[in-house]
Chains A and B, each alone.
Chain A
Amino acid sequence: MPSRHHDEIAVGSELPRFTAPPLNRLTLALYAGASGDHNPIHVDIDFAKQAGMPDVFAHGMLSMAYLGRLLSNWVPQEAIRSFAVRFVAITHVGDAITCSGTVVGKDDATRTLRIEVNTRNQAGEIKLSGDAVVSLDS
């Protein structure tokens, strides 16, 4: 990872975006096991239908983990002060999730940057929306 300094980064800078492979049921099963979130609505279609959903759907926290990668690809994790998202819409099986982030604020007094992040599916629909505060100089 290239070393970055607060003074070199301008508001409007974009983090290198990436798109995860389309989510399939194996992705959701692996995330259920690895995360410890065993809510059956993400892996058991019978349960999902009984709960009034058309199909299983992705854990919101899987997409938030992708956004965590977006951040830690760009700055060392130690620089992340806070990270928050709203789960705007359900992420479905088959969605190819693109993670993006833009520097929207720079505070030279506290030496922090505010980054807006979001995930979108292949149709451009926003699924997660949030922000992170990072500090590069400590």
Chain B
Amino acid sequence: MIDEKHIGALVSRHTVEVEAGRLRFFAKATGQTDPRYVTADAALPVPPTFLYCLEMDAPNPRALIELLDVDIGRVLHGEQSFTYYRMAYTGDRLRFETRIADIYTKKNGALEFVTCDTHVRNVAGEPVADLRSTIVVRNTEVP
């Protein structure tokens, strides 16, 4: 069982710069051909779900898994949401801070859920987006 004492715990805090090469690679990997996301003559926007990737650019991307002491092979992504406040572009430096918002179980402990909230701000301290991510730890086999 995951200890509920972790609710409220800081998972990570980091600052990351948005790089054009990385955004083009992401566009390629996600089948994005819209010129707005790949051409070089203007700053490229950070696409809607890429903030989740920048969140994982924390110095230790497994900080949550290690804090909870769970087996990554048993972790599934359950839910993901984004609330957007302003766009971000190549060259921006973004600050991420992630905390554990909730921990609960279902099916008599067969499934455990951990929800994390991440606030993203620019270097001026203005809000860029909030992310909410729920992972599921399966303690039984799934088909």
Contact = CB atoms under 8 A, between A and B. Distances in A.
Interface of A: 20-21, 27, 30-31, 33-41, 47-48, 50-53, 59-62, 64-66, 68-69, 71-73, 77-78, 80-87, 90, 130
B79 A86 contact: yes
A69 B56 contact: no
B49 interface: yes
Interface residues of B, number: 37
Contact of A80 (B29, B31, B76, B84): B84
B82 A82 contact: yes
A53 B132 CA distance: 26
A41 B25 CA distance: 21
A39 B34 CA distance: 28
A65 to B, nearest CB: 4
Contacts of B71: 51
B56 A37 contact: yes
Nearest to B136: A87
Interface string B52-80: 11001100010000000001111111111
Given A52-B141, A65-B47, A69-B32, A36 B56 contact: yes
Contacts of B47: 65, 68, 72, 77
Nearest to A52: B141
Interface of A is mostly: helix
Contacts of A80: 48, 84
Nearest to A49: B73
B87 A78 contact: yes
A39 B72 contact: yes
Given A60-B77, A77-B48, A84-B79, 20 more contacts: A20-B31, A21-B31, A30-B25, A34-B25, A39-B75, A40-B72, A41-B73, A51-B73, A51-B74, A52-B141, A59-B77, A65-B30, A68-B47, A68-B49, A69-B31, A77-B87, A82-B84, A84-B80, A87-B79, A130-B81
A68 B56 contact: no
Given A41-B72, A51-B71, A34 B30 contact: yes
B83 interface: yes
A81 B30 contact: no
A104 B22 CA distance: 35
A117 to B, nearest CB: 11
A82 B31 CA distance: 22
